Structure 1
Amino acid sequence: MNNLYSEAVRRLSTVCSQGEARAMVRILLEDTFGVGMNDVYADKVRQFSADELCEFRTMLQRLENGEPVQYVTGKAQFGELMLRVNPGVLIPRPETLELAQWAAAECKAGARILDMGTGSGCMAVFLAMNVENARVTAIDISESALETAKSNATLYKTDINFRRADMLKPETLPHEKYDLVISNPPYVCDSEKVEMERNVLEHEPATALFVDDEQPLVFYEAIARHAAASLVPGGRLMVEINRRFPEETAQVLRRNGFVETEMRKDTEGNPRMIKVIRK
């Protein structure tokens, strides 16, 4: 096993740093084959079968081709959750977890929650599990994403109402009343693609990531309008944002009648999430 581990790290080190290579091989071994690194270092790992070796080498080749390790294993960590993911959904990011944790702390028992653009269902499932008796509705334009989100809800035995809807088409949106509306919408400008990693550009769903440079806040406009109509007085709207447009995004929310703007930074020190309250 030590030889297999060393070979894998050596191969991946040709396409990424050695630290990243070690991390990816560790995830591969732990998440797919149940092999811990302590056993690898102590050379106490059982022998892989021929089928397991074939699967391991196939997965290694996918990593060498730049595919994200989460898609290769089909799993992504989100706090204490291990979610199912695939190329039809974004890989959940740490800053999205920070937003979900903040939102959970804002909610009272029995909160009615709408997750707009649920993707893998990461925030919807997290909130259903961390807010007592939460009543969660989650929407997405993608049928593929909704299927993935439903599988994650089933995995963690959470009761979530999933609906297909387009944030930019108000007639498709649910019109119930909510205590919290939360969203991590597409917000990366097309011009920012030059700053992004190749594995993101080539493998993650562009429709969940990018917006036209001419309309960078188009989704926030739509979310704010719907939240203004759907939230009860005192209800919260919480969104993840592009670090380039923190004040512009806040202005969009305030124009739609929201007050008490609170902005938080991510672990990198960038403005990344906003909470506002409906009057």
Structure 2
Amino acid sequence: MTTQVEAGATLRQLQAGLGLDPLENRILLCHALALPRVALITQSERALTADEAARLASLVQRRLDGEPIAYIVGEREFFGLPFRVAPGVLIPRPDTELIVELALERLPQGGRLLDMGTGSGAIAVACAHTRRDAVVTALDLSDEALAIARANAAANGASVRFLRSDWFAAVGEERFELIASNPPYIAAGDAHLAQGDLRFEPVGALTDHADGLSALRSIIAGAPGHLVSGGWLLLEHGYDQAHAVRDLLQARGFSDVQSWRDLPGIERVSGGRLP
């Protein structure tokens, strides 16, 4: 599918005629023309120049070709904060706000939090921004992801220590009051990897190239050596993995093992406490 954006078209006309849903129309119009959203109303009869029309047409075509809107504009809101995103990191999703809420409830005053596989830094930055007393460390194996995460921490005024690490390798014998992670959990060959936004996101951040549980197993196995007594481990996982993750947590000796549902009612996060 292709789109035509003509010079001379007004903002009012374009809001109804770009072939995207209304919200995406507004986002791309504002991004292409560097306008605040209110200008779509106050300047509704403004006509596009030829350069503006060409720029908007290019962005709309990218979206029609399936590219995620967050990658096109380079930003996504998460937990009320703006996050820079690029194809080297997953796009933060509202479902992941659940693990942030659970972490904030369980982290004691002045507590140490470890975010494993931080990607864009969404979990770590949201927690550090909300809880200025917390001591937050974030790990990732990707240099590109760490650069984006550091930029997001700086842009949001959040104090986070970032380390390049293959899971727990870089934290030595350190212990934390809470460990949180949204690791790769889609099984290899899952049809979802070839659908929608996932086609454009970094495959290594989506799948473990195995049964979907290998990263979760590694984190659960290593967590007791990096948690204080009574510390919490919280893990985001797939829609059908809650039972398996609870079994892994119980087998590793965690207590108070449970799962929590996201807004659509799916068991999205499971966790437990080190006795």
TM-score, length-scaled by structure 2? 0.88
Q: CA deviation at 1:179?
A: 0.6
Checking the alignment, whether the CA contact within 8 Å between 1:237 and 1:277 is kept in structure 2 is yes
Checking the alignment, whether the CA contact within 8 Å between 1:139 and 1:164 is kept in structure 2 is yes
Partner amino acid for 1:134?
Answer: A
Q: CA deviation at 1:48?
A: 4.7
Partner amino acid for 1:60?
Answer: V
Tell me what 1:76 maps to: 76
Give CA-to-partner distance per residue, 1:67-118, whole Å, 9 cap, x none. 0000000000102101100110001111101111121122122110100000
Structure 1 residues 170-189: aligned runs within 5 Å = 170-189=168-187
1:244 equivalent to 2:240? Answer yes
Report sequence identity in percent.
32
Tell me what 2:254 maps to: 258
Q: Distance in 1 between matches of 2:95 and 2:255?
A: 23
Q: Distance in 1 between matches of 2:45 and 2:97?
A: 34
Checking the alignment, whether the CA contact within 8 Å between 1:180 and 1:237 is kept in structure 2 is yes
Equivalent residue in structure 1 for 2:15, among 5, 28, 35: 5
Give CA-to-partner distance per residue, 1:189-239, whole Å, 9 cap, x none. 1232x24563324201110001334x4311111111221101100111111
Structure 1 residues 96-115: aligned runs within 5 Å = 96-115=96-115
Tell me what 1:16 maps to: none
Equivalent residue in structure 2 for 1:190, among 188, 191, 195: 188
- Residue 197 to residue 216, structure 1, CA distance change in 2 (3 Å): closer
SS at match of 2:138: strand
Partner amino acid for 2:249?
Answer: L
Partner amino acid for 2:200?
Answer: H
1:208 equivalent to 2:205? Answer yes
Checking the alignment, whether the CA contact within 8 Å between 2:119 and 2:149 is kept in structure 1 is yes
Structure 2: tracts of 5 or more residues without a match: 1-10
Q: Distance in 2 between matches of 1:31 and 1:197?
A: 27
Q: CA deviation at 1:241?
A: 1.3
Structure 1 residues 128-147: aligned runs within 5 Å = 128-147=128-147
Give CA-to-partner distance per residue, 1:136-155, whole Å, 9 cap, x none. 11001111111110100010
Q: CA deviation at 1:39?
A: 4.5
Tell me what 1:160 maps to: 160
Partner amino acid for 2:84?
Answer: R
Q: CA deviation at 1:174?
A: 4.2
Partner amino acid for 2:91?
Answer: I
Q: Distance in 2 between matches of 1:132 and 1:109?
A: 10
Which region of structure 1 is more displaced relative to structure 2, 112-121 or 43-52? 43-52
Which stretches of structure 1, 4 residues or longer, exceed 6 Å deviation after superposition? Answer: none
Tell me what 2:3 maps to: none
Checking the alignment, whether the CA contact within 8 Å between 1:108 and 1:132 is kept in structure 2 is no
Equivalent residue in structure 2 for 1:272, among 261, 264, 268: 268
Structure 1 residues 48-127: aligned runs within 5 Å = 48=48, 50-127=50-127
SS at match of 1:190: coil
Checking the alignment, whether the CA contact within 8 Å between 2:163 and 2:170 is kept in structure 1 is no
Q: How many pairs are equivalent?
A: 264
Q: Distance in 2 between matches of 1:108 and 1:183?
A: 18
